[in-house]
Amino acid sequence: MNKIFRKISVLLGIAILIGGIMLASKIGNPPKDKEKTIDAVAAPENYVYTTIAKNKELSTDILVSGKLVPKQKIDIIAEVMGTLKSTKKALREGVSFRKGELIMSIDDTDTQLDLAATKSQLYSTIVRMLPDLEADYTDNFSAWDTYVKNFDKDKPIQELPKAKSEREKLYVAAKGLENIYLSIKRKEHMLTKFHIYAPFSGVLTSAAVQQGALVRAGQPLAQLMNATSYELEATVALADAQFFKNGSKVELYSEVTNQQWKGTVVRSGKTIDQKTQTQKIFVAVSGGNLNEGMFLNGKVASKTMTNVITIPRKLLVKENAIYTIKEDKLKLQTITLLQTIGNEVVIRGVEDGAVLLAVPVLGAYEGMPVKLMD
């Protein structure tokens, strides 16, 4: 019995020993198939969609939009004090006036009387001087005598006679004639401010007073606007500003009223918006059915561009390069950006037949390996 147990123990020990040796052999020498599996794991492939470049001639319209601002619009402000008199037309928003037509009149009775009194003072002063002028300044007496005979207080004051000697000049100054004369000229000028005439044909866009009201100097009275002449204020991309030179014709249209007008670029701003890289342009337009604040769209034909291609704007790299594909790798190609049209750009600098990316690649870089999609 003991002999049998001893034999079993020996055989079991040998089996354990052999198993240990085989296990150690497998750990120390991995199977070749496993090596092959590990070696086969590689970086993931970057599959890309592509397109073939083909240069062409291109002529496009550049679109702009903006709102109308009146070319002529003024605030009418009282420069004198008085009661607003009745005129032929009521002071109401929308009332139109022709150039030179009376818009409003302020009562000037006080100023008229003051002017008449000052003229009378001048007249009486010169009359009292005539005997002395005749005795001491005979060579110029006739000029003063004629001035008095032609004096009319209802007409604008005439310039005083010129003194022919230094003594005469001092004599006239001592009598205060120059001061009285200048006071009359100032009051005559003041009278012109009581009657306000339209400097251009237009329409009232607001009226702050009514006839019969007392107005004071500096008080806003109304606004007058030229209702037929406007400017469209729009912005264009800096790359497109070259097509909006002074004198360029612009076709304008309203999507609301389905009407069209012809406009002309009259000037452009000199300040560039740093955030949007755009520049202001101003297009003059005249005609009926135009209103302040109205939005219009416009288009201008650009010059025909040769040897250009159009690509999605999102393919641009820093506005001056794109990715091409050579030998299954990405390569940066420097280009010239000519024009932006919505979500597309017109570029120059790519050879015919060049393979370009058709869709942006996330994390793209120079030399990145790619596989072309069939």
Mean pLDDT score of the chain: 86
Higher local confidence (pLDDT), 117 or 40? 117
> Measuring CA to CA, which residue among 350, 236, 242, 253 is closest to residue 303?
242
Report, as an integer, the average pLDDT of 266-294: 89
Q: What is the mean pLDDT of residues 365-372?
A: 89
Q: Give yes or no for a contact between 79 and 193, defined as CB atoms under 8 angstroms apart.
A: yes
Q: Look at residue 90 and tell me if it is in a domain.
A: yes
User: In this structure, are 15 and 111 located in the same domain?
Assistant: no
The whole-number pLDDT of residue 39 equals 44
Question: CA 243, CA 305: separation in Å to the nearest integer?
Answer: 12
CB atoms within 10 A of CB 335: 21
CB atoms closer than 10 angstroms to residue 208: 15
Q: Is the pLDDT confidence value at 73 over 70?
A: yes
Neighbours of 306 (CB within 10 A): 10
Please count the structural domains in the chain: 4
Q: Please say which residue of 254, 274, 301 terminates a domain.
A: 301
- What whole-number distance in Å separates Cα of residue 193 and Cα of residue 184? 15
Residue 357: pLDDT over 70: yes
Condensed to tens digits (0 to 9), the pLDDT of residues 289-343 reads 899 999 999 988 777 788 999 999 999 998 889 999 998 899 999 999 987 777 8
Q: What pLDDT is attached to residue 362?
A: 87
Q: Residue 80 in 3-state DSSP?
A: coil
Is the pLDDT at 101 greater than 90, yes or no? yes
CATH number at residue 266: 2.40.30.170
Residues 344-354: pLDDT tens digits? Answer: 889 999 999 99
| pLDDT of the residue at 17 | 63
- Give mean pLDDT, residues 131-149: 91
Q: Report, as an integer, the average pLDDT of 132-138.
A: 89
135 & 253 share domain: no
Confirm whether pTM is higher than 0.85. no
Residue ending a domain, among 166, 197, 224, is 224
Assigned domain for 44 exists: no
Instruction: Dig out the tokens for 279 from the structure.
Output: 């520049």
CA 27 vs. chain centroid, Å, equals 79
Domain annotation covers residue 45: no
Pair (211, 231) in one structural domain: no
How far, in Å, CA of 261 to CA of 244, rounded?
17
Q: What does the pLDDT read at residue 181? A: 95
| 311 in the same domain as 297 | no
**Are 144 and 216 members of one domain?**
yes
Task: Calculate mean pLDDT across residues 166-173.
Answer: 92
Identify whether residues 99 and 157 lie together within a single domain.
yes
Which of these three, 208, 224, 240, is where a domain ends?
224
Range of the domain at 275: 62-70+227-301
